Amino acid sequence: MREGLLAALKRLALMRGLSSERLKGEKQLRLRTLTFELPYKQDNQVTQDKKITKTQELVYKLKVKDVMTTDIVTVSPGNTMNELKEILRIRRIAGTPVVENKRLVGVIGIDDLIRCLSEGEMDATVGEKMTRKVEVLYGDEPLAHAVNKFNQYGFGRFPVIERKRGRLIGILTKSDMVTGLLKRLEIAYHTEEFRHNNNNENHVFNNIVMDKTSFHFQYRVNGQDFKVAGESIYKLKQILSQLGFPPPIIRRATIAAYEAEMNIIIYSYGGCISVSADYDHITLEARDTGPGIANIEQAMRQGFSTAPTWVQELGFGAGMGLPNIRKCADTMDIESEVGKGTHIKIVIKNTNGNGK
């Protein structure tokens, strides 16, 4: 079981969407529509590329601060490179943040130390040799954003900053993510599956006529409002669980809803998300009020982002939203008109139901 979890965690860093194929759709001067119809097995089994694992769900649920290391080794700009060498040797680390008055001012690593050794500059100060422009993570951002940043930059570690005060609160490495996820997987896996299997008799759909029952959930999303991002997703997960949907289906729905919500917050003036569910399907629709997508094919490419710099500095807008939504869906439709807005509709089929 451990080996399987580790293999899943290694695949996390990729967070790939489906293979990039030439997208086809009806093209008009301003209105663009694309439809993705993804294969669905007749035996009602979720295809391998549609499975959303518990690990992937946790990556969206957990925050960076939940798995980061808080026992931080730091140096000050006034330390010499000789002093840095001893700190790295004693603590057996390859780099460290540089902190002044509890605020991050730079990073220094073994590469900087090697250069100083070769050039005979070991008496130089850390402040003279450190890297001042530092990519950071924020403690309150989802771990999914950290996975994207590790994949994007190829770094071994990121300093973690408290958003409000800007002070250093931790360090996150790939090893920290693996360890933190494994700990929570051991707790969460049996808890969730036990709860699902033992609550079947209390699920709403088990006590009513299935083909005449549906559920609707809708909420407003304000553009640029990052403070409440994801709060409604937890409520949606609870409702779908109470309705009796299996955990793998709930994971796909909540991840798609989260990505859709973040797209509205980052790129639009505001909008709403609605989720309808019956025994066979979950249908999610996201509508916003603009500015619309000029090139949907380009927007569907993993890593493509038009988020402004200030949004990316907050840890958002990594260009993973639409590809991740597509990965969760059985069918996906996107309609966008520049100057008016975008409408995304996805359908997730319940493999425990009777949907075809």
Q: What pLDDT score was predicted for residue 153?
A: 83
* 306, part of any domain: yes
* 216, part of any domain: yes
Do 152 and 90 contact (CB within 8 A), yes or no?
Answer: no
What residue numbers bound the domain in which 311 lies? Answer: 13-55+210-349
Give me the mean pLDDT over the 259-267 stretch.
87
The number of domains in the chain is 1
Q: What pLDDT score was predicted for residue 43?
A: 39
* 217, part of any domain: yes
Torsion of the alpha carbons at 147, 148, 153 and 159, rounded to the nearest 10:
-50
- Average pLDDT over the chain reads 76
Kindly report the CATH number assigned to the domain that includes residue 229. Answer: 3.30.565.10
User: 30 versus 339: which is more confidently predicted?
Assistant: 339
Confidence label for 351 from pLDDT (cuts 50, 70 and 90): confident
CB burial of 101-137 (b: ≥16 within 10 Å; e: otherwise) equals eeebbbbbbeebbeebeeeeeeebbbbebbeeeeebb
* 106, part of any domain: no
Model confidence pLDDT, tens digit, residues 169-228: 999 988 888 888 777 766 655 555 545 555 544 444 444 333 445 778 888 998 878 777
* 170, part of any domain: no
* 226, part of any domain: yes
d(CA 133, CA 295): 32
Answer whether the bond into residue 291 is a cis peptide, omega within 30°. yes
Confidence label for 68 from pLDDT (cuts 50, 70 and 90): very high
* 180, part of any domain: no
| Least confident range of 21-35, 86-100, 267-281, 321-335 | 21-35
Q: What pLDDT score was predicted for residue 165?
A: 84
* 27, part of any domain: yes
* The pair of three-digit structure tokens given for residue 67, joined into one six-digit string: 């798995």
Q: What pLDDT score was predicted for residue 294?
A: 86
